[in-house]
Amino acid sequence: MFRLIILILLIFLQTFILSGCGSFINKNNPATTNQIVISVLSDPKTFNALLSKESPNIFGYIYEGLLSENPITGKKEPKLAKSWEISEDGLEILFTLRDNLKWSDGQPITADDVVFTYNDLVFNEEIPSNIRDYFKIGKEGKFPMVKKVNETQVKFTISEPFAPFLDSTAQEILPKHILEPTIKQKDNNGKLLFLSTWGIDTPPEKIVVNGPYQLESYSTSQRIIFKKNPYYWQKDDQGNQLPYIERIIWQIVENTETSLLQFRSGSLDGIGITPEYFSLLKKEEKRGDFTIYNGGAAYGTNFIAFNLNTGKRNGKSLVAPDKSRWFNNVNFRKAVAYGIDRQRMINNIYRGLGEPQKSFISVQSPYFNQEIKGYDYNIEKAKELLLKSGFSYDQKGQLFDDQGKEISFNLITNAGNRVREALGSQIKQDLSKIGIKVNFTPIDFNVLVDKLDNTLDWDCHLLGLTGGNEPHAPNIWFTDGELHLFNQGKKDVTNRQVSDWEKEIEKLSIAGARELNEEKRKEIYGQIQIIVEEQLPFIHLVNPYSLYGAKNKIKGIEYSALGGAFWNFEKLKIKQ
């Protein structure tokens, strides 16, 4: 009865909030009926596209690059650039911009904006960004030379063949006329003003964009509203300006159960469906007038990773020396991998809607190595590896190292994500069966990011990374990469050691990017996957199916695991 009362109260409060706080839907106002309302788990961390490290983020709605990838066909398609030409040797790429492009403030978009975005922002070492690593070419890590040819043409010159180059040109182009002063001035701490430009306290009308939408408003912990950009370039065959949908609203809902309630009550038009709710929602498709889309195995990864960093900061070890010995023992990592029951995760947490994950490359990518076996659940094998490495058990089955230290570590993930919380709880249970004590604590996302990116104060984390068909990921596999999460390098960290296998992966990554022959590229990335499987910097868990529920009033959805439901949102329509 208590649970039922709580449920009723939640529905009541949800209805009250949605109808009482500025009512989104006004039938006399077309802008409020021609809209989509979806949810996200947390507030944005920045309105600055180059500084963003989160996914999902707002920037796919408000910015475009020169090209994009069609997630259905996998082909490159023109965006701000209407065409591109590649020289015979593959070292020069000439882009021609569309005519009469404009920023959301009405100013023209020109080749100067493209050159500024790459040379002054992306390649700027004073601006910390996950993106820059992707543009490093060859062993020397040289950036492309980007030069203006004329007002509508830009030439990129690269030092050697670089297979993933066109993927990099999806990079958002940012406005020079607004942002140039921010890289010429520094604050009192000697940092570029750019680093504090366009934070979440910036009035939305100050954010100048080039995409289908622009920011209309942002209410902390409530919602982000996007409105149609009147200067967006794209039109349909009849000459009507796109997008068709006037507004997109992101409801900030920090709990997936609340999102489910809002979707079922009609307050949300779309929702990512976790397997635990699939059966319930599948029964309600007709009554709720929505469709559940299944794109098969999701792109991206779910994993745990140990902190392998042996470095020190101010003379103090980042990781306690005893834990560091365990984590850097590959047999310890293998034992943990064997000690996790992925099939139980699939059955209980994913309701059968997933499969064991074996690689950092998606099974849908042509570069996935079919020979990778992964780690099946095997307690005896796990214990055998631990005993072989000098660990021992007491009479209660608790594991100790060769110095008599009880084996225990802290596992963290972001709070509010029910699936990850369930995964963490099961990992704690599973590893207790091989004598390892896991202290599992979901924490606030901002605190988590600070630990991973700043303090480096963590033992083991449970997270995921987005993915795609292209396997080149220097920000992860280069030893100085921003997302080299298991062994982060920082300027003030001393005594950090980089293992031979990390260096080998980096070497192969460079070779893979240089190789233009598809079959040879597959061989190279196949080798990388074998090394990762052997060394386990990431212990992969489960690959869930890509599931999304969308109201049938939204017309034109072409669902894919790579692009999701709204990748072509500028062409979607609302049935009136």
Q: Confidence band (pLDDT; 50, 70, 90) for 140?
A: confident
Per-residue pLDDT, 128: 87
State which amino acid sits at residue 454. Answer: N
Per-residue pLDDT, 32: 60
Q: Which fold has domain 2-51+191-297+546-574?
A: D-Maltodextrin-Binding Protein; domain 2 (3.40.190)
Rounded CA-CA distance 312/496 in Å is 7
C-alpha atoms less than 13 angstroms from C-alpha of 73 in its C-beta half-sphere: 7
Q: What's the token pair of residue 413?
A: 């993930």
Query: 220, exposed or middle or buried, with CB in 10 Å at 0-12, 13-18, 19+?
Result: exposed
pLDDT mean across residues, the chain: 91
Average pLDDT rounded to a whole number, residues 462-484? 90
Segments making up each domain of the chain, as ranges:
2-51+191-297+546-574, 67-181, 301-544
CATH of domain 301-544: 3.10.105.10
C-alpha atoms less than 13 angstroms from C-alpha of 285 in its C-beta half-sphere: 11
Q: Cβ(246)–Cβ(522) under 8 Å?
A: no
Chain segment 69-102, per-residue pLDDT in tens: 999 988 999 999 999 999 999 999 999 999 999 9
Q: Cβ(425)–Cβ(272) under 8 Å?
A: no
The angle, 0 to 180 degrees and rounded to 10, between the axes of the packed helices 256-265 and 2-20 is 70
Q: What does the H/E/C string look like for 252-299?
A: ECCCHHHHHHHHHHCCCCEEECCHHHHHHHHHHHHHHCEEEEEEEECC
Q: What's the token pair of residue 419?
A: 């699936």
Q: Confidence band (pLDDT; 50, 70, 90) for 506?
A: very high
Rounded CA-CA distance 549/293 in Å is 6
Can you say how many angstroms the Cα of residue 156 is from the centroid of all Cα atoms in its chain? 27
Rounded CA-CA distance 546/354 in Å is 9
pLDDT(11) > 70:
no
Rounded CA-CA distance 60/319 in Å is 37
Q: Is the dihedral of CA 348, 349, 352, 357 positive or negative?
A: negative
Average pLDDT rounded to a whole number, residues 461-475? 91
Chain segment 337-347, per-residue pLDDT in tens: 999 999 999 99
Does the domain made of 67-181 have the CATH classification 3.40.720.10? Answer: no
String of b and e for 531-561 (b: at least 16 CB within 10 Å)? bbbebbbbbbbbbbbbbbbbbeebeebebbb
Long-range CB contact pairs, 322-330, < 8 A, 24+: 322/401, 322/403, 322/405, 323/409, 323/459, 325/401, 326/401, 326/407, 326/409, 327/409, 327/459, 327/460, 329/389, 330/534, 330/535, 330/536
pLDDT(534) > 90:
yes
pLDDT(8) > 70:
no
Q: Which of 50, 173, 169, 150 is nearest to 103 (CA)?
A: 173
Q: Confidence band (pLDDT; 50, 70, 90) for 479?
A: very high
- Write down the residue that tokens 């009926």 correspond to: 33
Chain segment 376-421, per-residue pLDDT in tens: 999 999 999 999 999 999 999 999 999 999 999 999 999 988 889 9
pLDDT(130) > 80:
no
